[in-house]
Structure 1
Amino acid sequence: MKKSFVLSAIALTSILASCSTQKTTQNSTEVETKVNEFKPQYYSEYTLKTDLSHLSENEKNIIRLMIKSADIMDDIFWQQAYGAKIDITDATKGEVLDYVKINYGPWDRLDNEKPFVDGFGPKPAGAMFYPVDMTKEEFEAANLPEGKSNYTLVKRNRDGKLYTVPYHVNYKNQLQNAAGYLAKASELAEDPGLKKYLQLRAAALLNDDFYASDLAWMDMKNSNLDLVIGPIETYEDQLFGYKASYSSYVLVKDVEWSKKLARFVQYLPELQQNLPVNAKYKAEKPGTDSDLNAYDVIYYAGDCNAGGKTIAINLPNDEQVQLEKGTRRLQLKNAMQAKFDQILVPISNVMIDESQQKNIKFDAFFSNVMFHEVAHGLGIKNTINGKGSVREALKETQSGLEEGKADILGLYMVNQLLKKGELEGSQEDYFVTFLAGIFRSVRFGASSAHGQANMVCFNYFAEKGAFEKLPNGRYKVNVAKMEQAMNGLSELILTLQGNGDYEGVKTLMVTKGKIGSDLQKDLDKINASNVPVDIKFKQGLDILGL
């Protein structure tokens, strides 16, 4: 039986003390931890703020309430990812404590979840959503009615049997407080769409039924403010990919940029129809009530704040809502600009041939990221052979393959819109910036869904000659071959999804979802150049002047 990784402060202290000097104070026990290799220099600091002068006093007060509710999502995510936050934050200090807070636990999210605090072994694949000693076989045999729900925890009773507890029951007190803040915010909201959404989202936090609030969020078109809140993504559950983690973003709309993006939605049905795959794998019709908007993000909390930071959002994840209304794609422009300036450009200076460095452009980076999110709405949501939804058929492999689909179909969409004259720039701009983006993303390692997706793309492209590595150690894109490889990988991924081919996806991830030794040397060269891997935020009411 595996030992639980959620340790009490006393247990953690005793473990760490065996490798360190123990200091006792009147109120607590501080531990000087012997630290495995960890890299706080991975993160470049960025201040999250934007111009709020155009907002009303009511809107500023709504932001205050949104941030309070977001902080509660942050606390719940700590419990899901690690356990009792106080156990480890009380037992570590200094740079180690700072790094624990970035990673929401003692496992390095940008280094394949390696533990960096002594006394901890590998991170449980199921995080704290399941008993850490539970096997996949035990879970399947238990046949729990709500076991595969996104919104239940699986626990073990005194007799050793598995049972489920709904999120809204397990986190009742915290969720009631968060819902209360949202209800107060709804009373202040002047925009009817925002008011309705906040009311319904408050109710949804208390019963785990997010359908009505998702529809209301889809209908919210004109608000200056936005809030993404609740259990959203399932990446933290690396055992099955079933369980959703609590997250929150507080957002202020960039009206001018949003107007530029709005026109692209009309092309979704045409782009779906033209996908480079057999017709049966693209028979579903994407919703056309989708919209594209640009925002400045002013607060991250929970899952989205852990390790690598999200710079674009495509929600809701509910397939029923997607088929009925599509999705909303929110581009987090200030965070995106930070990653471009502080990470992508320096990487390009190291890895991209000098002849193509002129093709690294923010507009290309913005579009590649944006259409990655749009591409989640293309393709197929249900298998063509009776295996149910793609998500259900592919189990824990779904997240990685879905991110791979979004990567490659996003590039396909950019290419199609370029040919229609709807985007400015050249194929070379978008393709070279895409390759540089892979180097940026795979530095997270290949343990995450995004990391696996990027490695599949990189290795597939390498096999097809989409780029070459020159004698000087830099990479150069072959535009024609990259376009061919893009179409080939699109067809492969869409076919695997449509067939619900679980074993086929596993094989793809094993053969192409890994970082090879040659690429690792390149990543080491980037790291030696002191290019940060990601960003961390200075954020909060004080930063915003609120």
Structure 2
Amino acid sequence: MKKIVVLLVLTILFSCKEDKEARKPVKQVTVEENLTDMGKNLGKYVPFKLTSDLSVLTDNERKMLPLLIKAADKMNALFWFEAYGDKEALMAKITNEDTKKFVEINYGPWDRLDGNKPFVEGIGEKPLGANYYPKEMTKDEFEAFSSDNKSSLYTFIRRNDDGSLKTIWYHKQFESQVKEVSDLLIEASKLADNAGLKNYLELRAKAFLDDEYQASDLAWMDMKTNTLDIVIGPIETYEDQLFGNKASHEAYVLIKDQVWSKKLEKFAQFLPELQKGLPVDELYKKEIPGTDSDLNAYDVVYYAGDCNSGGKTIAINLPNDEEVQLQKGTRRLQLKNAMRAKFDKIMLPISEIIIDESQRSYVTFDAFFANTMFHEVAHGLGIKNTINNKGTVRNSLKELASALEEGKADILGLYMVQQLHEKGEIEGDIKDYMTTFMAGIFRSVRFGASSAHGKANMIRFNFFKEKEAFTKNEDGTYKVNYDKMQTAMGELSNIILTLQGNGDYNGVAKLVAEKGIISEDLQKDLDMLSEQNIPVDVIFEQGLKALGLEQ
């Protein structure tokens, strides 16, 4: 053990446009690092190099790639500010290199795979609102605050000199940074051979400067034939666990796998038919999913910001804008190389320990890929607007919306697999998909209570246990009861879709409180996996050097 005195300063990370309220210093505290735990913490992650076949790119696309990676990399600093505040003030006071590495992985001093538990003594609990709101602001104060844009995805809440609340647009808070990103995207657009990609990059560049993202979202939906792609901007709202309002900056740089994508393109056409067959009353499936949806496979060559923190995303379903979804659907991007990393290094080792020996052969990469893919497709099913005039599901369920939506996508993804398998559209044994799904619960529940995906998996695990969808053997392994799992799947789908359609915040809170927990017995199983040195997630070797492009 050693003690380090740290002056914690809630300093805004950026230049002259900083909010003066955030510059006020707070009391000096003693920070104590448990250095003996750092090696164990770092062991939760296994490294994996992100590469791809660059020969599929044109000369201009190869020139664009460094520009897109540079633009993506700038999302790291923006997300650091959103998640924590002043990174440099924190890092300058930590001398142990392992601790610094773990801080970098978590974008702050809270362990994202352990319920956001602070791993540096002297650092308090992570604010539910991260750095989007004043730390001491109450929900009642926010609700009483009169502002047209207080719940916008793209505003910070800060205080005036008199203590009253105010909003600051992202493009004002990050003025110099977003100008740099915009310039890089424009520079890249000039090299774009693909008209759709060129249009998207131009519109996305503009969006960074005014926080008007819908036009670029629509343009991104219209892209069909480009090989090189980038997802960039303030996108997901997982980090805001106070209200679920604020979007976090992130980026993925992607190269399309044309062969695998060709295999997948047919599935989006089944969305309207599958929507009609959902196991819920008609009122909750009255919306018609957009049919302009895209389903493709990619190699991801760069992660940055929110998607690079803690547990890493292996599939994308965007845009989140409900108007865009109803008009055009969404694009579902399967990150095949990252998915393979998690399957080989985490899923298979878990199944060898936790799944009944007679069922282990049913855990396959093809089933893992399909389950993950249809999870993303299933985001397009169900309902986006409540049936009782409470507004959108996302706004009605506030900070609970993300966990329930992830739970919906998981369970409806399996429903889609089962339906398409019956139609003969998916090959293989249905037991592959269900057993792999069960093993996947153990993989994802290890993300912890701070993760929307972790909460969703806990709810499903406890619901399945209650419905006897699996049994636990005397040797500690789990055996899937396939018929009962199928019944439980339908019942849980009905519950989630009804809660969403009703905008039932209290009902969701009750579900999370009762079933979004890790029991003592389950925790013992998870501890056993850790004792067997099975990593929880991956960290990436990435960038120009990993791609062999460093000059």
TM-score (norm 2): 0.94
**1:308 matched to 2:322:** no
1:506 pairs with one of 509, 526, 539: 509
Counterpart residue identity of residue 62, structure 1: M
Q: 2: CA distance between counterparts of 1:55 and 1:388? A: 44
**1:56 matched to 2:43:** no
Offset from partner CA, 1:345-365 (integer Å, 9 cap, x none): 000011000000000000000
**1:15 matched to 2:29:** yes
Counterpart residue identity of residue 322, structure 1: Q
Offset from partner CA, 1:21-53 (integer Å, 9 cap, x none): xxxxxxxxxxxx444844110000000111102
**1:223 matched to 2:226:** yes
**1:135 matched to 2:138:** yes
1:6 pairs with one of 7, 10, 22: 10
Q: What SS does structure 1 have at the residue aligned with 2:253?
A: strand
Q: 2: CA distance between counterparts of 1:490 and 1:14? A: 50
Runs of 4+ in 1 over 2 A off after TM superposition: 3-17, 33-38
Q: 2: CA distance between counterparts of 1:16 and 1:352? A: 45
Q: What SS does structure 2 have at the residue aligned with 1:276?
A: coil
Counterpart residue identity of residue 329, structure 2: G
Mapping 1:347-362, distance limit 5 Å: 347-362=350-365
Deviation at 1:11, TM superposition (A): 7.6
Query: Would you say how many aligned residue pairs link Structure 1 and Structure 2?
Result: 530
Mapping 1:326-345, distance limit 5 Å: 326-345=329-348
Q: 2: CA distance between counterparts of 1:4 and 1:87? A: 7
Contact 2:12 2:81 in 1 (8 A): no
Offset from partner CA, 1:366-408 (integer Å, 9 cap, x none): 0100110111110000111111111111111111111110010
2:385 corresponds to: 382
Q: What SS does structure 2 have at the residue aligned with 1:206?
A: helix
**1:46 matched to 2:60:** no
Deviation at 1:447, TM superposition (A): 2.0
**1:113 matched to 2:127:** no
Contact 2:129 2:135 in 1 (8 A): yes
Q: 2: CA distance between counterparts of 1:212 and 1:167? A: 18
1:193 corresponds to: 196
Greater CA deviation, 197-206 or 420-429?
420-429
TM-score (norm 1): 0.95
Offset from partner CA, 1:421-467 (integer Å, 9 cap, x none): 11111221111100100000011112211111111111111100100
Deviation at 1:472, TM superposition (A): 1.1
Counterpart residue identity of residue 453, structure 1: A
Counterpart residue identity of residue 147, structure 1: K
Q: What SS does structure 2 have at the residue aligned with 1:543?
A: coil
Q: For residues 538 and 339 of structure 1, do their structure 2 counterparts lie closer, same or farther at Cα, with a shift above 3 Å needed?
A: same
Counterpart residue identity of residue 52, structure 1: L
1:286 corresponds to: 289
Counterpart residue identity of residue 378, structure 1: L
Counterpart residue identity of residue 121, structure 1: G
Q: 1: CA distance between counterparts of 2:522 and 2:30? A: 35
**1:369 matched to 2:372:** yes
Deviation at 1:58, TM superposition (A): 1.1
Greater CA deviation, 142-151 or 300-309?
142-151
Contact 1:35 1:118 in 2 (8 A): no
2:538 corresponds to: 535
**1:183 matched to 2:186:** yes
Q: 1: CA distance between counterparts of 2:275 and 2:437? A: 21
Counterpart residue identity of residue 236, structure 2: E
Contact 1:215 1:321 in 2 (8 A): yes
Counterpart residue identity of residue 6, structure 1: L
Identity %, equivalent residues? 60
Deviation at 1:16, TM superposition (A): 4.1
Offset from partner CA, 1:47-82 (integer Å, 9 cap, x none): 011110232221111111101111111110011011
Deviation at 1:222, TM superposition (A): 0.5
Greater CA deviation, 118-127 or 50-59?
50-59
Contact 2:302 2:543 in 1 (8 A): yes
Mapping 1:206-285, distance limit 5 Å: 206-285=209-288
2:19 corresponds to: none
Greater CA deviation, 33-42 or 72-81?
33-42
Offset from partner CA, 1:66-112 (integer Å, 9 cap, x none): 01111111110011011121112222231000000000000000000
Q: 2: CA distance between counterparts of 1:4 and 1:166? A: 25
Counterpart residue identity of residue 75, structure 1: A
Offset from partner CA, 1:226-245 (integer Å, 9 cap, x none): 10000000000000000000
Give structure 2 stretches of 5+ with no counterpart.
1-6, 14-23
Offset from partner CA, 1:315-341 (integer Å, 9 cap, x none): 000000000000000000000000000
Offset from partner CA, 1:509-531 (integer Å, 9 cap, x none): 00000001110011011111100
Q: 2: CA distance between counterparts of 1:62 and 1:425? A: 40
Deviation at 1:212, TM superposition (A): 0.8
Q: 2: CA distance between counterparts of 1:394 and 1:54? A: 43
Q: 1: CA distance between counterparts of 2:339 and 2:217? A: 25
Deviation at 1:290, TM superposition (A): 0.1
